[in-house]
């Protein structure tokens, strides 16, 4: 039977790792992620988890340890944030290039300088081209559920790519919320044991990996990663559907919509902002304004087809980015415009930067942004 408890986002991630029967955890502390690996260490010390806990000297080493363990044929996990994710950067490419289904909790935190321990999405967005699947979570239940789904997606033979599950520092990592914790039997039925055929290392049949290749071959390897990312769209959808049926919580592929029937304007967001966006929609609906909210669960692979379908019936998108690509604009804003480019009748797309370095995003900020969408439609 499911267990009900109140837990913060970091503990939700730790419980998911326990339920997924992860066998190797590489641990290195960084605020606001530290409590994830601390809680896992308690599980192992208390005999609640059968796993190897590796205390490493850096985030670069944490990912290196996961790469070695995954290549040897076991389910692995680590967690990081902000500067730590940047320090991992080189090894993120090694993980995806080696097609290893590592899963990592990435607790979003602003990049220094100036130093900040509060949230924005620039840390994970800056890693969008490393070949990792990227999920973004709205609340603590979402964190637990998405980590379980991430393992199933990453380990699917059609994918075999690493995945990071991103959630907002402090707003989720340190905020306690009601949580439904499924039992091991239910999770085991959903997430099968790690398939050792994924292992690259076999001591009985030694091989080499990651060798020097000629230009003629290098591009082929990158094509395989691209195809795996494209496959991931379908696998994410299948996994979300299976999870929804088995656990009774609704997940819609890469994009989730809130009150999106017969609307003119959609507020588009990722992460914890999505909860505020729903409240903003509810307030605007009281004024009879046709507005809805669109939450991206997945940023990589980018949900092009789902957004194009929405673009055929929505007149304007109001995009709230918690990141900025300096010299251009918000990354989600840019990519949404690109996804809609080939539509014959293109909707308006307005972009707003908000919440950098943990600045509050208030309901009135979102309602004001949505009103600007309606104003733009009136102007034609």
Instruction: Output 119 or 216, whichever has higher pLDDT.
Output: 119
**What average pLDDT does range 292-312 have in this prediction?**
97
Strands annotated E in the chain: 3-7, 24-27, 52-55, 76-80, 103-108, 133-136, 163-168, 177-181, 255-258, 265-269, 291-296, 298-300, 316-321, 348-353
Task: For residue range 232-262, list pLDDT tens digits in order.
Answer: 999 999 999 999 999 999 887 899 999 999 9
340 pLDDT more than 80: yes
Does residue 100 contact residue 141 with C-beta atoms inside 8 Å?
no
Residue 272 confidence (pLDDT): 98
Read off the pLDDT band of 229 (50, 70, 90).
very high
162 or 379, greater pLDDT: 162
Tokens of 346: 């293109």
Instruction: State the angle between helix axes of 59-72 and 82-97 in degrees (0 to 180), rounded to the nearest 10.
Output: 30
pLDDT score for 2: 87
pLDDT for 83 equals: 98
Confidence check: pLDDT of 198 > 80: no
**pTM for the whole structure:** 0.97
Q: How far is CA 375 from the centre of its chain?
A: 33
Q: How many CB atoms neighbour CB 115 within 10 A?
A: 10
Phi, psi of 4 (to 5 degrees): -100, 135
pLDDT exceeds cutoff 90 at 274: yes
Average pLDDT, the chain: 96
3-state helix, strand, coil in the chain (%, to 5): 45, 20, 40
Name the pLDDT band for 199 (thresholds 50, 70, 90). Answer: confident
Mean pLDDT, residues 185-199 taken together: 90
Q: Which two tokens stand for residue 278?
A: 């729903």
Q: What is the mean pLDDT of residues 103-119?
A: 98
Distance CA 336, CA 318 (A): 10
Distance (Å, whole) CA 276 – CA 355: 12
Nearby residues of 308 by Cβ (< 8 Å), 6 or more positions away: 339, 340, 342, 343
Query: What is the percentage of the chain residues whose pLDDT exceeds 70?
Result: 100
Does residue 113 have a cis peptide bond before it, meaning omega lies within 30 degrees of 0? yes
- Is the Cα torsion angle 362, 365, 366, 371 positive or negative in sign? positive
Distance CA 328, CA 147 (A): 32
pLDDT at 209 over 80: no
* Confidence at residue 31, expressed as pLDDT on a 0 to 100 scale: 98
Average pLDDT over residues 33-39: 98
Mean pLDDT of 101-109: 98
pLDDT at residue 48 in the model: 97
**CB within 8 A of 153, min separation 6: which ones?**
133, 159, 163, 232, 235, 236, 239
Mean of pLDDT values over 344-351: 96
Give the per-residue pLDDT at 204: 78
CA nearest to 304, candidates 202, 201, 230, 364: 230
Write down how long the chain is: 380
- Give dist(CA 291, CA 258) in Å, integer: 9
Does pLDDT of 98 surpass 80?
yes
User: pLDDT of 148-163, one tens digit each?
Assistant: 999 999 999 999 999 9
For residues 61 and 28, the answer to whether their CB atoms sit within 8 Å is: yes
What was the pLDDT predicted at 253?
82
Q: pLDDT tens digits, residue range 47-78?
A: 999 999 999 999 999 999 999 999 999 999 99
């Amino acid at each position: 039977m499911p267990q009900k408890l109140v837990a913060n986002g970091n503990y939700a991630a730790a419980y998911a790792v326990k339920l997924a029967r992860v066998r190797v955890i590489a641990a290195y502390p960084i605020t606001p992620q530290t409590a994830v690996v601390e809680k896992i260490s308690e599980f192992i010390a208390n005999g609640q988890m059968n796993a190897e806990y590796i205390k490493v000297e850096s985030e670069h080493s944490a990912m290196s340890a996961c790469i070695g363990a995954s290549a040897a044929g076991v389910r692995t996990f680590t967690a990081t944030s902000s500067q730590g994710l940047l320090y991992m950067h080189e090894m993120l490419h090694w993980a995806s290039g080696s097609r290893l289904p590592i899963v990592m909790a990435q607790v979003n935190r602003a990049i220094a300088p100036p130093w900040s321990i509060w949230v924005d999405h620039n840390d994970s967005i800056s890693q969008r081209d490393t070949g990792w699947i990227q999920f973004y979570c709205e609340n603590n239940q979402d964190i637990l559920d998405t980590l379980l789904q991430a393992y199933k997606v990453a380990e699917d033979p059609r994918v075999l790519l690493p995945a990071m599950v991103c959630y907002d520092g402090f707003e989720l990592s340190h905020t306690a919320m009601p949580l439904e914790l499924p039992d091991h039997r239910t999770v085991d039925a959903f997430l099968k044991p790690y398939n050792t055929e994924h292992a690259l290392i076999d001591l009985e049949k030694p091989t080499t990996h990651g060798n020097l290749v000629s230009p003629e071959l290098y591009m082929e390897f990158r094509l395989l990663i691209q195809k795996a990312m494209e496959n991931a769209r379908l696998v994410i959808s299948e996994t979300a559907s299976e999870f929804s049926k088995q656990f009774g919580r609704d997940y819609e592929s890469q994009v989730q919509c809130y009150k999106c029937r017969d609307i003119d304007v959609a507020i588009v967001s990722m992460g914890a902002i999505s909860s505020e966006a729903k409240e903003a929609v509810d307030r605007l609906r009281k004024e009879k304004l046709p507005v809805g909210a669109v939450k991206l669960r997945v940023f990589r692979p980018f949900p092009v087809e789902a957004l194009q379908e929405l673009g055929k019936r929505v007149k304007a998108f109001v995009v709230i980015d918690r990141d900025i690509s300096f010299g251009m604009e918000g990354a989600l804003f840019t990519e949404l415009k690109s996804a809609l480019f080939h539509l014959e009748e293109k909707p308006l797309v307005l972009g707003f930067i908000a919440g950098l370095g943990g600045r509050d995003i208030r309901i009135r900020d979102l309602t004001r942004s949505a009103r600007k969408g309606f104003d733009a439609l009136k102007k034609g």
